[in-house]
Amino acid sequence: MQASDDAHNDPSPIHEPAFMHSAEWLRGLGESSDVVMSSRVRLARNISGFPFTPRASRIDRTQILEACKRRILTMSTANAAGTSSQFMWIDLHQIGREDRNLLVERQLMSRQHARGKLSTGKGGLDEPRSVAVLIPDERVSIMINEEDHLRLQTIRSGLALGACLKEANEFDDLIEAGMDYAYHPRFGYLTACPTNVGTGLRLSVMLHLPALKLTGELEKVRRAAQDMGLAVRGFYGEGSESPGEFYQLSNQTTLGKSDDMLLREMEQEIIPKVVGYERHARRNLLANRRQMLEDQSWRALGTLRHARLMKVEEAMELLSFVRLGVLTGILEGIGVEQIHSLLLNIQPTHLQRTLGAVLTQQERRVARAQLIRTQLGAGSPSGSPGSPGSPS
C-alpha cells in the first residue's frame, strides 16, 4: 500500500525541502508515455569479501557503507551522465521519518530501505544504510545496505528501458572500477536473493491501465503476465496496492538470461503487447461506451475541482480518470505532466513538505483538496488559507 494518509507523523519539524526540481520520470514524455508512465532498471550488486546484507554484522554493514560512500562520491560522472550532475549522499539512519518517506514517495528507494528492516525481520531505523541520488533530475539512485550491498537504479519517463539499462551499466562500470564485486564465472553476479543471481538485473515499467479495468480485461492481462514469469506490483512496488490502476510490471528471474535477452523480451515483446491491449480498450470505450467514459472523466474532474476533503487513495483514483480523459481527448486544457505532478504532491509527506508543517489526518485531507482545486483551476474560496505551492 502507498504511504498511508493515516500514518502517524513525527512531532519534530520538517526540514527544508531537499528536492526542488521535478523528477525526470514525471515529465509524461517518451515512447508510449500514454500508457507507460516510467521505465526503471535496477542492478543488484555485492562487494566481494563481505557477507550478504541479511547475514552481515553491524560492523560489516558499516564498512560496506563507508566503502561505497568513498567510491560513489569520488568517481567522475562525466562519462556516464554527460552533464555536471553530482550525487547527494543521504545517511538514512541519521534523518527523520518524514525525509525518508519523501524519498520513497519520489521512487528513489524502497519502503523496506526506509524502515531499515532486513529480510530476516531484524534491524530497524538505526541500521547503517544510505541512498545516493543523482541531482538535479533524480534519474539515478543507489541504495546501500538494502537486501544487497548496492542496488543501482535508473529511471526515465515513458518506455525507455534501453536508455535506462545503458546508463545503469555505465554507472555500474564506474563503481566496479574502484571495488570488487562478488562474481562467479558460472553463475554471474551473486545476490542475496537467488532469483537475482546472474545479471542481477530487474527491468520494470509503471503502467496506467484504467481502460482495461473498465472493460473487465485487466485480470486476464495480470494472469498472463504472471504466467510469463513477470511480477505485477502496485504503485510503490512489492506489497503495495494500485489505486488508480497504476501497476509496476517487471521480470522476476535473471539467471540464464543475458541483459540483451531480458531487454529484448521486455521492451520489444511484452510491454508493447500490454500497451496495445490498453490502447485497444481505450478505442473500444470511445467507440461503444463514450457516454460512460465522458461521465467518468468529467465526474472525476468535477469532484477534484470542488471537493473539500480528499483521501490520497480517492485522489489517485480520480486523477486516473482525468488522465484517461485527457489522453482520449475528452478533457482539454490539462497537461499530463500536471496530473503526474499532482500524483506526487498529494502524497502525505509531499503535501506536508509543501505547507512546511506537520498536519493531522483531517488537516491533510483539507489541504490535499485545496491543493488539487488550485492546481486544476477551481481556485480557493474566499477566506480559505492561501494556496500551497509545489515542492518539486
* Residue 18 scores a pLDDT above 70: no
pLDDT tens digits, one per residue of 137-175: 899 999 999 999 999 999 999 999 999 999 999 999 999
| Model confidence at 134: pLDDT above 50 | yes
- Is residue 324 scored above 80 in pLDDT? yes
Domains annotated on the chain, with CATH? 24-280 (3.30.590.10), 290-375 (no CATH)
Residues 1, 264: Cα–Cα separation, whole Å = 31
Find cell 512489492 and name the residue.
238
Res 226: pLDDT? 83
- In this prediction, residues 52-77 reach a mean pLDDT of 92
Predicted local distance difference test score (pLDDT) of residue 76: 66
> What Å distances lie between residue 20 and 38, 301, 389, 390, CA to CA?
20, 27, 11, 9
pLDDT at 84: 60
pLDDT for the residue numbered 22: 67
Residue 314 has a pLDDT of: 97
pLDDT score, position 285: 97
Model pLDDT, residue 17: 46
As given in the structure block, the three cell numbers for residue 31 are 515512447
Lowest mean pLDDT among 50-54, 83-87, 95-99: 83-87
Q: How does residue 220 score in pLDDT terms, banded at 50, 70 and 90?
A: confident
What local confidence, expressed as pLDDT, does residue 225 receive?
86
Residue 320, pLDDT score: 97
Instruction: Calculate the average pLDDT of the chain.
Output: 86
Which residues, including other chains, have CB under 8 Å from residue 324's CB and lie 6 or more apart? 208, 210, 211, 282, 293, 296, 297
Of the candidates 47, 46, 50, 70, the residue with the CA atom closest to the CA atom of residue 59 = 50
What is the mean pLDDT of the segment spanning 66-91? Answer: 80
Sequence-ordered list of residues with C-beta below 8 angstroms from that of 136, at least 6 positions apart, any chain: 20, 21, 85
d(CA 351, CA 388): 9
Which strand (E) or helix (H) includes residue 322?
helix 312-327
pLDDT over 50 (residue 3):
no
pLDDT of 196 above 80 = yes
| Relative orientation angle of helices 97-105 and 348-355, to the nearest 10 degrees | 120
Cell numbers placing 102: 519523501
User: What is the distance between the alpha carbons of residues 272 and 269, in angstroms, rounded to a whole number?
Assistant: 6
